[in-house]
Each structure stands twice: as structure tokens, then as C-alpha cells.
Amino acid sequence: MQRLVSLFAEVLMVNAAELNEESSPATVREWDSVAAMALVAAIEETFDVQLSTREIMTMRSIGLAYRVLVSKGVVI
């Protein structure tokens, strides 16, 4: 989980300490629609996966993103 939180922090350009499983576009000001696109690209490039549109739309918080990646067999 910590590796995913760091990745989100890096892309959103916020301090990792401000983020947790519950972090979402509703709680993080920097997580706007442009950042959402950058997050998808960063996740795919970092973990070498391809996300389906359904999976992308499911990732509405860091915890949900974590679950999607785990379900795809990604070791985080």
C-alpha cells in the first residue's frame, strides 16, 4: 500500500503523509480530472498493467485502486 500511496503523492505533487487509503478526489484538492488521467498513466507504467475502462472508473480512492491492482495479481 505504501508504494501506491507514494506514487499517488508523487503524481498529485502532495506530501505522502497527507494521503491514506480513504484519499479520493473529494478529499484531495489536487486530484482533479487532469490528475486522474496522469494517475492512470503512472499506474500503468509503474506496475506494467493495462487497466480496463471499468477498472479505471472503479479507482475512486487509493484503497479502491489498491484492490483493483491486487485483483489483477499486481504485487505492490
Partner 1 sequence: MRSDDSVAARRLAKSEWRAHLTGRSKADLRIGIAATFTAEPMVPYAGHALVQHGYSPDILLAPYNQLLNVCGDHQVVFGNELDVIVLLWRIEEMLPSGLEHASGSNFATAASSAEPELDIFVAALSALRKRFSGSIIVSLPPVPRIPGFDPLGVNGAAGSLFHKMISLAFSERVRGIEGVALLDLDAVERQCGTQAAWDARVWYLYRQPQSEAAMALLGNQLARLICAQRRPAAKVVILDCDNTLWGGVVGEDGLDGIAIGQDFPGAAFRDLQLFLASLRNRGILLALASKNNEEDVRRVFDLHDGMILKWNDFTSHRICWRPKAETIPEIADELNLGLSSFVFIDDNPSEIESVRALLPEVNCVLLPEEPAHILDAVRHLWLFDQIQVTNEDSRRAQMMTEAQQRKVAAEAMTPQEFLKSLNLSVEVFPARTEHLGRITQLINKTNQFNLTTARRTLDEVRQLSQQGLHRVFGASVHDRFGDYGLTGVAIVAEGDSVWELDTFLLSCRVLGKGVEQAVLAALARGAQASGVERLRGFYRPTAKNQVAALFYESAGFRRVGDEAWESLAVDAATVPPHIDLVAGPQPS
Residues of the shown chain interacting with partner 1 in the complex, contacts defined by CB under 8 A? 10-11, 13, 33-34, 37-38, 40-42, 44-46, 48, 51-53, 56-57
CB 31 within 8 A of CB 14: no
Cα 76 to its chain centre, rounded Å, is 12
Least separation, in Å, of the C-beta of 17 and partner 1? 16
Tell me the C-alpha distance between 9 and 38, whole Å. Answer: 12
Which CB atom, from 2 or from 48, has the smaller least distance to partner 1?
A: 48
Which CB atom, from 56 or from 64, has the smaller least distance to partner 1?
A: 56
